[in-house]
Amino acid sequence: EEKTVVHVPRGTPQGNLAFGLNKGYKTKKLQQAPRQSRKKGALNKRVKFVRDVIRDVSGFAPYERRCMELLRVSKDKRALKFCKKRLGTHSRGKRKREELSNVIQAQRQAAAKKA
């Protein structure tokens, strides 16, 4: 019961062997197109424009105004807790707080440009 060991010298291409880790015919992986579900939530130009127009017309909700007030007096953690309570989840609260702090920053920059 002697097992024969086939020696493959280094540098020879692997593949097309009947045994071992690299056994079988060498194939190439096909490049798959990204799935449609990966695009969900991506913002396109038209949707952004429509949301900006609605924001300009209707302004901020009362809870958003209160949150902005908390952010202005640098109560970031309290603002997060407040947003989280109103929106339901921690990640939604964080996103809303970030959005409102960006709005405040933009307002400050606009005021600085005017002055």
Q: How does the average pLDDT of the chain come out, rounded?
A: 89
b/e 57-91 (16+ beta carbons within 10 angstroms → b): eeeeeeebeebbebbeeeeeeebbebbbebbeeee
pLDDT in tens, 12-35: 666 677 777 777 777 888 999 999
Q: Note whether 94 and 80 are within 8 A (CB).
A: yes
pLDDT given at position 14:
64
Alpha carbon distance 57, 49 (integer Å): 12
Alpha carbon distance 81, 60 (integer Å): 19
pLDDT given at position 8:
65
The whole model's pTM is what?
Answer: 0.65
pLDDT given at position 12:
64
Q: What share of the chain is helix, strand, coil (3-state, %, to 5)?
A: 55, 5, 40
pLDDT in tens, 35-64: 999 999 899 999 999 999 999 999 999 999
DSSP 8-state class, residue 115:
-
